[in-house]
Amino acid sequence: MQLLLFPHISPHEPDRPLSPEQQADILLALLRGGSPQAACQKLGADPQGFCRTTERDEAFRTRLRHVRELMTLNVVATVYRAALEGAPAAQALWLRTFSPPDWTASTSISSNASLETNDEFASLPTDALRRILAAFHGEFSTWFSSDEAAEPA
């Protein structure tokens, strides 16, 4: 019995990389917070074609890497904005990830009682906070796709 990841696609279909139009549409969908699988499904593209195109097309792979870098920067900016607005979990994540070079144990976030007592996320390890942020990435990325997204004063 053969297990297919994409049962709606025959294993006997020839390799079909994404067309240039499909590539552009999928990259745009990714920038708006979609997953590759969801983008392919919405556009009627073969998910295996996405994989093949990524594997074989250096230019597409480079554009995909740039899109992922932008997505990461969107999350970083969102965390920074939330930290500036006083969210303790965002402040904790920011300071753990981007602490200043002269940051010492005596000034670390673990010595800040307000983070320990008032925030259920403060005791979570950094990796857990990153996973939480990754799960919310789609919701946060919509802030950057609207014309109303403005930098905090």
pLDDT exceeds 90 at position 14: no
Residues contacting 13, CB < 8 A, separation 6+ = 46
Mean pLDDT value across residues 39-66: 94
Amino acid at 85: E
Per the structure, the count of domains in the chain is 1
Burial class for 33, CB neighbours closer than 10 Å (0-12, 13-18, 19+): middle
Q: Is residue 62 part of a domain?
A: no
Question: Which pLDDT does position 48 carry in this prediction?
Answer: 93
pTM of the complete model: 0.56
Q: Is residue 101 part of a domain?
A: yes
Question: Which pLDDT does position 141 carry in this prediction?
Answer: 46
Decide which of 37 and 101 is more confident: 37
Whether the CA torsion 142, 144, 146, 152 is positive or negative: it is positive
Tell the residue number behind the tokens 């403005």, with chain if given.
Answer: 150
For 118, the domain range is: 75-153
Question: Which pLDDT does position 33 carry in this prediction?
Answer: 87
63's tokens: 């554009």
Q: Is residue 25 part of a domain?
A: no
pLDDT tens per residue, range 96-141: 888 777 766 445 555 444 444 445 566 777 777 776 666 555 544 4
Q: Is residue 32 part of a domain?
A: no
What stretch of H or E contains 82?
A: helix 58-84
Q: Is residue 109 part of a domain?
A: yes
pLDDT tens per residue, range 61-101: 999 999 999 999 989 999 999 999 999 999 999 888 887 77
Q: Is residue 10 part of a domain?
A: no
Residues contacting 9, CB < 8 A, separation 6+ = 46, 47, 48
* 3-class secondary structure, 12: coil
Do the Cβ atoms of 121 and 89 come closer than 8 Å? yes
Q: Is residue 54 part of a domain?
A: no
Q: Is residue 39 part of a domain?
A: no
Do the Cβ atoms of 45 and 53 come closer than 8 Å? no
Give the chain's length: 153
pLDDT tens per residue, range 24-35: 999 999 999 899
